[in-house]
Amino acid sequence: MYLGIDLGTSSVKSILIDDEQRLIGEASSAPLDVVRAMPGWSEQDPEIWWRAVCETLDSLGRAHPVEMSAVEGIGLSGQMYGATVLDEADRPLRPAILWNDTRSAAQCAELERRVPDIKSIAGRKPTPGVTASKLMWLAANEPETFSRVRKVLLPKDYIRMLLTGEKVSDLADASGTMWVDLKSRTWSAELLSATGLSEDHMPRLCEGTEVSGRLRPGLAQRWGMARLPVVAGGGGDNACGACGTGVIEDGHGTVSLGTSGVLFVANNSPRIAEDFAIETLCHAVPDRWHQMSVVLSATSCLTWLSKRLKRSPEDLIQSLGAAPRPATDVIFTPFLDGCWSPRNDANIRGSFHGIAHQHDDEALTQAVLQGVAFAIAECAEAFRESGTELKRLMAIGGGSRSPLWLSILATALDTELELPDASALGAAFGAARLGMIAATGARPSEVLRRPNILDVVPPAAAYADSYAASFRSWKRQARAN
């Protein structure tokens, strides 16, 4: 048996799978509180992460005692970028500053000034989400706390420390900090020094498939495990999600239509992002990298519209039918929460443009679906400019249940979209798979298999010119916002 633990921003999910990768059990924690003391701030107390992990594993232990006794490997997944700073006794000095905290914009500019060739080392420009700029903010605004920092851990690595006693990070998660040399897959002394830190402040690095430690005996006894399972390096939530869908080959990827939209593509070499705000990171498997872009508002845009029109999202989508249709002339830019990618603009906001008397609920709904698809297509353009070819894309997330939305997205991307059997996909599943590899020594390609594909949605060739023209108009409007 193998465990996957996914530490999200809103909750923890843990799953138990057997050696055939069948789902045996799953448990989710109570919601996790996020504290926003100031505009743009987002923090969590690391102690609530640990309580939530224990809550899920206690639940699995009660529900599946026989299966839990046979656990041999554990994989960890988690929210990325969060700065968890520890003192000399390994106690958190303050609440963790999370991935969606935007207070460190000024420090990003300063980090670029200190390291002019930062893109060639870390693969991209710094943004307020990354861990390095958070520590620079801490040095400037809480110098006494900064002076007491002995270790900096990412959220799931704090959980690893409590599970195993080891201070270790995997390369997929660590490469998002802006402290890793992307090509050599090691800590960069230059980037650490530029933020007032050294490698002594960092955990040991390992690949996501490697053994990072073993579960403490007392915890194994608590959860009824007959052995001391190995704990794999694991990965950030997006890399683990890719492991769950078997996305490890060059040019293979996923496009997620969830609350946010995520384009994720695996690479066989690091691709420098140049001036685009796209993430180039190590993958959770050796000798692989990946690119990732996040559109902050995707299905949340449809939720927003449904509240304004007082109709459910399902009703709005169903009113459009399932058949492909030409592009609408109404332009919607989906920047309700700002824009992270392919340009970083925290102040930009969404808009409708070109509304006339004849435009009804259906026209506004299609404009929203189309606007989200175009935002993802703009990210894909940045990937392609860096040399990435989109060979195979799987569509995942709640929005992928809409045939029309998938048709619009496939046409905007000019790429077929595969619909997987999603019965056991997700970051916790990918983490459990990494735990299996670490415990058994199996090759990643043997374990990280692609799911069955239920359907393939092609671009709507009849409307390609319609969408291409509308995309050009959308880009002009998005850049004018």
DSSP tally for the chain: helices H, then strands E: 18, 24
How confident is the model at residue 338, as a pLDDT? 85
Class assignment of domain 246-424+451-481? alpha beta
16-49 pLDDT tens trace: 999 999 999 999 999 999 999 998 899 999 999 9
| pLDDT exceeds 90 at position 260 | no
What ranges do the domains of the chain cover?
A: 2-239, 246-424+451-481
How far is Cα 12 from Cα 31, in angstroms, rounded to an integer? 8
- The tokens for 456 are 């393939």
| 480 DSSP 8-state letter | H
DSSP 28-96: EPPPPP-B--STT--EE-HHHHHHHHHHHHHHHHHH-HHHHTT--EEEEEE-SS-BEEE-TTS-BSSPE
Catalytic residues: 237
418-470 pLDDT tens trace: 999 865 578 999 999 999 999 999 999 999 999 999 999 999 999 999 999 99
Residue of 85 and 422 predicted with greater confidence = 85
Q: How far is CA 214 from CA 6, 224, 231, 236, 417, in A?
A: 18, 15, 6, 20, 40
| pLDDT exceeds 70 at position 143 | yes
- The tokens for 212 are 């990072």
At 153, is the secondary structure helix, strand, or coil? Answer: strand
How confident is the model at residue 423, as a pLDDT? 54
What's the predicted TM-score (pTM) here? 0.90
| 105 DSSP 8-state letter | H
At 159, is the secondary structure helix, strand, or coil? Answer: helix
Bridge partner list, 262 = 256, 294
The whole-chain average pLDDT of the chain stands at 94
Domains 2-239 and 246-424+451-481 share a fold: yes
How confident is the model at residue 116, as a pLDDT? 94
Bridge partner list, 254 = 264, 394
**Stretch 163-174: mean pLDDT:** 98
| pLDDT exceeds 60 at position 341 | yes
Class assignment of domain 2-239? alpha beta
Quick check: 240 and 6 in contact, CB under 8 A?
Answer: yes
For 439, phi then psi, to 5°, come to -80, -35
In 3D space, the residue among 55, 25, 146, 56 whose CA is nearest the CA of residue 97 turns out to be: 146
| pLDDT exceeds 70 at position 291 | yes
Q: How far is CA 293 from CA 124, 261, 344, 411, 432, in A?
A: 12, 8, 11, 19, 25
DSSP 29-42: PPPPP-B--STT--
* 271 C-beta neighbours (distance < 10 Å), count: 21
How far is Cα 14 from Cα 212, in angstroms, rounded to an integer? 19
| pLDDT exceeds 80 at position 191 | yes
122-131 pLDDT tens trace: 998 888 889 9
Confidence of residue 358 (pLDDT cuts 50, 70, 90): very high
Bridge partner list, 475 = none
In the Cβ-directed half-sphere of 103, how many Cα atoms lie within 13 Å? 21
Looking at residue 300, its amino acid is S
How far is Cα 306 from Cα 361, in angstroms, rounded to an integer? 10
Where are any strands of DSSP class E within 279-344? 279-282, 289-295, 331-333
Number of residues that make up the chain: 481
In which element (H, E) is residue 436 found?
helix 427-440
Confidence of residue 278 (pLDDT cuts 50, 70, 90): confident
**Stretch 154-162: mean pLDDT:** 98
How confident is the model at residue 296, as a pLDDT? 84
How confident is the model at residue 10, as a pLDDT? 87
